[in-house]
């Protein structure tokens, strides 16, 4: 996340999936608030909603920890 204040801890957020031809996936906290790293097919996220549990400020921007109802991989 680039700017502070776009989401708050405890807020429910929508998650959208972006896939590449390579079978790797990235995810967006909508509306385009934050983007995940790359997930391989075996770790694909099925949930489309989550709750922001933590917002960490770093030199590179803000990192979100979003909890989703997922089975462990």
Per domain, the residue ranges of the chain are 12-67
**37-71 pLDDT, tens digit each:** 999 988 889 999 999 999 999 998 899 999 999 87
Strands 24-29 and 34-35: antiparallel
* Cα distances (angstroms) measured from residue 23 to each of 19, 26, 38, 41, 42: 7, 10, 10, 6, 9
Prediction pTM value: 0.83
Answer whether residue 4 shows pLDDT above 80: yes
Helices (H), the chain: none
- Tell whether the model's pLDDT for residue 27 goes beyond 90: yes
């Amino acid at each position: 996340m680039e700017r502070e204040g776009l989401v708050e801890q405890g807020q429910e957020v929508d998650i959208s999936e972006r896939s590449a031809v390579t079978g790797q996936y990235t995810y967006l906290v909508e509306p385009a608030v934050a983007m995940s790293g790359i997930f391989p097919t075996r770790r694909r996220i099925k949930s489309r909603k989550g709750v922001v549990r933590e917002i960490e400020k770093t030199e590179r921007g803000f990192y979100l920890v979003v909890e989703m109802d997922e089975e462990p991989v």
